[in-house]
Amino acid sequence: MADTSVSMATASGSTFSVTSPTTLRFTVIFFVRCNFDRRFGDHAEQVHGSGPYATLVVQYSEGDRVIFFQQLRAVQQMRGYKRGWPAHKYKDKFGTFPPWSYNDLPPIAPTDAVLRWIKSRNIAFYKAQRTAA
């Protein structure tokens, strides 16, 4: 299945498109009157399937990925993590390692959303370690 760019309308009626997306797939349960625009912000969304289970496709632009990596670099420096930590967290989120050129970008202050995402990954890691032991 080939990924293509998507043009979508938001709940407010405005439209947007993503030209070079990175696609992530989530299996979601639909409830009456759900609004996924609020959960995923301005990222393009597309729903595949029908019934109570379907796949929600969230696509991120190149700019979103650059900013995310810069925020990961700031967290890496603040917490004293190893140099490769941001690249591995980037791969966790987007499925591929970032381009080498991203290493030359300056870090920027992380948003609350990025800090919460990192916290969720740390919790998942420690729970997996606990159940494996």
Select from 38, 41, 36, 42 the least CA-distant residue to 56.
36
- Which of 59, 48, 66, 69 is CA-nearest to residue 21? 59
Average pLDDT of the chain is 75
12 and 73 in a single domain? The answer is no
DSSP 96: S
| Residues 2-38 pLDDT 10s | 444 444 444 444 444 444 444 444 444 444 344 444 4
* pTM of this structure: 0.62
C-alpha to C-alpha distance for 68 and 60, rounded to whole angstroms: 10
Per-residue pLDDT at 57 exceeds 80? no
Report if residue 1 sits inside a domain: no
Q: What is the pLDDT of residue 39?
A: 44
Whether residues 55 and 67 fall in one domain: no
Please give the residue range of the domain that contains residue 79: 63-132
Q: How far apart are the first and last CA of the chain?
A: 38
